[in-house]
Amino acid sequence: MNAHADSIKYKLGYHVKKDYSIAELASQYIKQWEEKRLDRDSKKETQRLPPSICISRKIGAGASEIAGILSEMVGYPAINREILDHIANEANLSDKTVRLFDGRYPGKLREFISMAFGERSFVQSDYTKHMFDVVFSMAGLGPAIFVGRGIHLALPRDRVLAVRIVSSKKSRIKRIVKVANISELRAEEVLDQVDMEQGAFFKNVYRKKNAPADEFDLVINGDYIQDTRLAAELISISFKNKFEEIENLAEAAN
């Protein structure tokens, strides 16, 4: 993110639980995965990834806050861009995550990724290869909530509830003014910059210029559904309706 966004107190697109740093949350999630991992010798699992919720968003539409509320509702980790990048860039954390995945699905990482990509075109830079390795490893360790980075385009579509959170530029500016405590002019400058950076990422990695509505299971417009808890509840209900198996997963985790 460029100097415009770095200079404000609130990092756009990020929502961290109160009293937790990014490093603490990342370590906490990995510890939870370690504690809940299933013993492959005592329980034969279907070789499918657990279902995940993937939230795509326009920055400033409130998706990160919704994901935080949703995480508390359903008990799944909310993994935003900063947490994903932290795990991917910390060698010990990324190695541990991949090892945990390999323990559950021995030798399956490359196979899962190849099956999910199929004929789709992705830019296979060193960064994207490493990011996808970590994303698939995290997704394979249990249901999760991914925010941003187009994860719904990477994971198998039949194992994902894909959600899009949008709102008008006017509403997004208003929200940024409130959370970042900056002027409307400054908020618009920052928003234009992060929109440009987000667009460049999707063009470079996924070769996509936009996110059409028919790409998603659910689209929520924050201009009309302004209650973030209601938005989280809509996602939770949709997820349960799409993946009845999560009830069995929840019972097995308890």
Asked if residue 28 belongs to a domain, the reply is: no
Q: Provide the CATH number for the domain around residue 122.
A: 3.40.50.300
Query: What's the rounded Cα separation, in Å, for the pair 223 and 168?
Result: 7
Asked if residue 94 belongs to a domain, the reply is: yes
Report the domain count for the chain. Answer: 1
Residue 21 has pLDDT above 90, yes or no: no
Asked if residue 20 belongs to a domain, the reply is: no
Asked if residue 61 belongs to a domain, the reply is: yes
Asked if residue 138 belongs to a domain, the reply is: yes
Asked if residue 67 belongs to a domain, the reply is: yes
- Of the pLDDT bands very low, low, confident and very high (cuts 50, 70, 90), residue 71 is very high
Asked if residue 249 belongs to a domain, the reply is: no
b/e per residue 204-229 (b: at least 16 CB within 10 A): ebbebeebeeebbbbbbebeeeeebe
| Alpha helices (H) along 75-108 | 81-89, 91-104
CA quadruple 86, 89, 94, 95: dihedral, nearest 10: -150
56-70, 90-104, 166-180: segment of lowest average pLDDT:
90-104
8 A C-beta contact, residue 97 and residue 30: yes
What confidence score (pLDDT) does residue 122 get?
Answer: 67
Q: What is the pLDDT of residues 224-243, one digit of tens each?
A: 999 999 999 999 999 999 99
Q: What is the pLDDT of residues 200-222, one digit of tens each?
A: 999 888 888 889 999 999 999 99
Q: For residue 160, give its domain range.
A: 46-244
Asked if residue 110 belongs to a domain, the reply is: yes
